Structure 1
Amino acid sequence: MSFVPHTDAEQQEMLRLIGVSDIEELLSTIPESVRLRKPLHLPQALSEFEVLRELEALSAQNASVDQVISFQGAGAYDHFIPSAISSIISRSEFTTAYTPYQPEVSQGTLQSMYEYQSMICELTGMDVANASMYDCGSALAEACLMAAGDTGRDEILIAGKVHPLYLEIVRTYTHGQGIQMRVIQHRDGASSIADVDSALSENTAAVIIQQPNFFGIIEDAEQIVKRAHDAGALAIMVIDPISLGIMKSPGEQGADVVVGEGQGLGIPLSMGGPYLGIFAVREALIRKMPGRMAGMTVDVEGNRGFVMALQTREQHIRREKATSNICTNEGLMMLAATVYLSLIGPEGLKEVATLSLQKSHYLADRITTIRGFQLKYQEPFFKEFLVDTPLPATEIIYRLSQKGVLPGIDISSLDPEETGLLIAVTEKRTRAELDRFVELLRAL
């Protein structure tokens, strides 16, 4: 460890003070299964010029959604982003702002948090929202930990088809916490109420339902929420915020906790991030909610001001009272979503959702006229649907990508138990683009 500036004598003194004989003993808590027992092979160092050339060559292999027609989805969608968003959030007051440990100094930052929270509450029909999480996966994982802590129970039920990558994050968070995850398999693409009933028990802390689900199918969420409540469990709903332009809000459907991916609200795809985790709860859970929450008040002179109302991080309050160790929020992405919702308004969001719905159904109807292509599930869907194909999905993706069309996602790459092409359609797709996609599939 030549880059460590401590002498051998200093290292030995530190080891002696903590009661450890050597560095190997210090590292003994790291599981053997993840330790590298051979030298790490690193290539020869490059000069600055060589590094720049290497990065430029790698960057040239990428294609933006401005260069191709994208039908990819599975949590990250090619929605239109008003140009005003980047102009506003690029202002130095926003891009360089940091909420200090005396947060009331940053009134502008706190106001943007408060306005975002207000919009999310209006959108979801919930009582309280935090100032965002990292992404939907981390928000869902935090929701599961919160549910277990609130109910004192140790089992989480996953109803129907929830995004597999979100569940991987949940498993990582709950590993070692004594929380068990139990997946209730879908029937024909959607949850079975009878299966949920039979799976619920006195150990169930929460039931997770994704609406629309991973296949894009609209679930009977209200019935699942009711069953969860009857068993004394919380109902966690995973949402696509765009869908709330035309669908009943989670609050109207009885959800206790709402999480979602906010990428569709004016945030670029950006090869997978940074994104935005939406998190909202009913008022009874406000002190169990992770992350930060800004509030509005008045000072001694009656002037309006914004404050950091809750910070349930263990560094800010007594450890035994803390609910999470999440340290921050996606502030700039939160601001982008706030600007997006402000720009398009309720009617604009309704139009985005309606166009996505109509265009996806138009495309599905056209695709199913092609020999060998059919919808895998016949349930109602929002803007995404799964198609059985006569050729492997990977081959279709490769061949159409050569023609400037990203036809969707090979669902087996995310869920090995499923096969088919998962296709998403947003308001951006024109009829000409939809028809071209159909003709390319027909020509395979």
Structure 2
Amino acid sequence: MTITENPSAAPVTVAVRRKTRIPGWLKGVIWAVVAIAVLSMASYATGVNTLTSSNTAHTALRLALPILLCALGGLWAERAGVVNIGLEGMMILGTWGAAWGAFYGGVWAGLIAAVVFGALGGLLHAIATVTFNVNHIVSGVAINLLGLGVAKYLSNLVFAPISGNPRQSPPVPKFDTYSASGLGDWLGDLENAQRVGISDVAGILRGLVTQVAPLTMIAILLVPLSYFLLWRTRFGLRLRSCGENPVAAESLGVNVYLHKYVAMAISGGLAGMGGASLVLLSGGADYLENQTNGRGYIGLAAMIFGNWRPGGLLGGAALFGYADGLQLSGGGKAVLALLYGAVILLCVIVVVQLIRRQWIAAAIGVVGAGVLYAIYWTNDTLPSDLIPYTAHFVTLIVLAVASQRLRPPRADGVPYRRGEGD
């Protein structure tokens, strides 16, 4: 930059330093590498191989799918300006629809039925919030209660005469699974070699490439597809403008109501697909009452953790799915070893904060690391009553840490009426 205050004077050149931004995908890769390194060190230090075993990775992938799909559903809704607390109810409708469709028409019919049932719940939420301007939180809670009641009523009507139990469905078909046999065997040999770092990476990768269902691949592909549609198309730009400034969008000719309705139908359909993943994946149960167990809320938390971005919510879903899968495959000792890994991660964060001279954040990190290490040092295992709630505790801690950097859509949850900007 050249600045000249006096025409007769020599120009003064001022160097302007521009801060280089790291691309979002590269940040995700860096965090994945850091997470694997931390888990590897914790596994070596504690002697708990379950942290990076292929069984844990496979279980985590299966349990992360409903959270990921619900988070994507929340992303579509809130980018259009609609707070979707009703993801849990739409997911419940999806579980029942998946069991009903699969029982009578096979797994693909079950998946389609789950999407339709979830989309109907999303449209009902849209009617309440978009057309009648009902408070979004109130409507979402009502959708959750309604979804639970409708599923219970339909189970009594359809499943009770067949299975004799209104709380569950008869056995339904599951998706077939596929494995990369040659790659899986090679990774299995590396995992069994018990080499620090290499075996840990091999175990995680092996769990991700063995016994993979088509629904799993569809769910993962929906992440880049959602990014492309929302950030690289005219439709996505218009939909996001409805969540940022609907009055300005309306002044430019955007049909705000239509885009909100489309977003809510997609949101409900994705939540319903998340419910289908609980019923139609091998290793999971058939339809059961209260089968979702709060996963809709955890999906909403994953979306918030991801800062309303597809890549971020993918990381949140992976984190919560891993925490849930670890307690199933490893029990209390594995969860306790995860606390040791959290201590290592906090130490790394403290060093970074000290380099940045953020003393308060560093002090909080030191205190948190000390508390977690004290819990690890004074316990051989965690109480069995607390272990099933590992994912819920992780959700609370992560949201508390990440809350300072969040930036939701500006008009998220704000009432809107057509023509109010005139």
Q: TM-score, normalised by structure 1?
A: 0.22
Task: Tell me: higher relative CO, structure 1 or 2? Use CA pairs within 8 A at least 6 residues apart.
Answer: 2
More helix by share: 2
More strand by share: 1
Q: TM-score, normalised by structure 2?
A: 0.23
